[in-house]
Structure 1
Amino acid sequence: MTARETVLGRVRDALALAPQQPQPVERRYRRGRTLPDDERLALFTDRVLDYRAALRTCTAAGTAATLADVLSGLGARRVGVPAGLDPGWLAAWEGTVVTDPVTRLDDLDAVVSSSAVSCAETGTIFLDGSADQGRRALTLVPDVHVCVVDLSTVETGVPEALARLVPGRPTTLISGPSATSDIELERVEGVHGPRTLVVVVRTDA
């Protein structure tokens, strides 16, 4: 008997012992949790900063000025944006804006995008590939990602956040800058995505 036959035989034996009609798994998730805007913002801020990301708050009217200040502080000169991003957001910034670049993403100093929904309890931001968020590569290849989050899209818990997503869309979950500690437990940032994440929360959008 070969190793393959041995493995398949064990699989068949295990299947024979398994119930023919498995019992449904109870999914009693906590739902309907909500917090006032100030508490939700405080919780989201705490989690985002804990992930070693930077966070700024502004009003909708102050979006352009805030983004200009953030990009200038980062020393960015060439910034990529999704095709559907509001052009007014970068109206106050003096630099080169490249709309939805297909190639040479690594030549960009930063990328600016919007977001679909976020979770305050985990500090996670969800991107779903909408026109103002762009292709997944656009927000993963450049070394700096500036992500604009409307406080109205920040849910308290994970079930509430997932309920706002559109099934079938390419969803990217962001919890701080890309980092890993796989090698000798030493933290290395920028391995699988941006090394720097700046979250701009619009509190009245």
Structure 2
Amino acid sequence: MTDTARAEILRRIRAAAVPPAPEPPRHYLRHAPGLDPDDREAVLALFAERLEEYGARVLRAPRPAAAVARALTEEGARSLVVPDGLPADWTAGWDGRVRIDRPPLDKAELDATDAVLTGCAAAVADSGTLVLDGGPAQGRRAATLLPDLHVCVVRAEQVHSALPGALARLDPARPLTFVSGPSATADIEMIRVKGVHGPRRLAVVLLD
């Protein structure tokens, strides 16, 4: 094959090829649309709104104990598992059975427990998402998936208007779990089924 013929073949291939994909945008939206990220009350209100749209309960309070007790009582929980290191005052207002996940409870014990109480690493207002990374007051992933009710305490300063703000605060080397509302799926015949991948019920105590 002469150089001329080879060049002509390559020219025709290039001409027939699909145009190269454009470069992905690098200027991502850093905040929730139409929301001033410095308006903390608006950010928290959006976070609560998104959670409620998913079917989660939101209790706003200045301190956790009374709100945690209310959430557990109104959801009918009688037993609770908490991660090692969870502040003791978070459960001070509740008179049900509390078990610390130390040593780690087995799967049957977790499944037989009504609820789990944790904190979180960050939260996203725009999507109503909680982010857990196994850090302080969060515990291991299994303990947050098997009980039927998850009560999560979120501090106001942990809530970011959109995902980029939260990602900047997270360690990618940690085991990250993103929770947007109670667990549910409609994979089978478009029938919504709760509790397939985790707790069927979610209550968030949002500390002002």
Compute the TM-score of the two structures, normalised by the length of structure 1: 0.83
The percentage of counterpart residues that share the same residue type is 47
Helix, strand or coil at the partner of 2:41 = helix
Distance of 2:159 and 2:135 partners within structure 1: 17
Residues 54-76 of structure 1: CA distance to partner in whole angstroms, max 9, x if unpaired? 1110002xx11111111111221
Residue 72 (1) aligns with residue 77 (2): no
Aligned residue in 2 for 1:120: 125
User: Counterpart in 2 of 1:102?
Assistant: 105
What letter is aligned with 2:160?
A: E
Matched residue, 2:55: 52
Change in Cα spacing, 1:23 to 1:121, as seen in structure 2 (3 Å) is closer
User: Matches of 2:201 and 2:38 in 1, distance apart?
Assistant: 29
Q: How many residues align?
A: 183
Unaligned 5+ runs, structure 1: 1-16
Structure 2 partner of 1:6: none
Structure 1 residue 28 displacement after superposition: 1.9
**TM-superposition CA deviations, 1:157-180 (whole Å, max 9, x none):** 111111111120000000000000
Unaligned runs of 5+ in 2: 1-16
Q: For the structure 1 residues 38 and 23, does the alpha-carbon distance in structure 2 shift closer, same or farther, using more than 3 Å as the test? A: closer
Amino acid at match of 1:46: E
Larger Rg: 2
Please report the RMSD computed on the Cα atoms of aligned residues, expressed in angstroms.
Answer: 1.9
Q: Look up the match of 2:144.
A: 139
3-state SS, counterpart of residue 73 of structure 2: helix
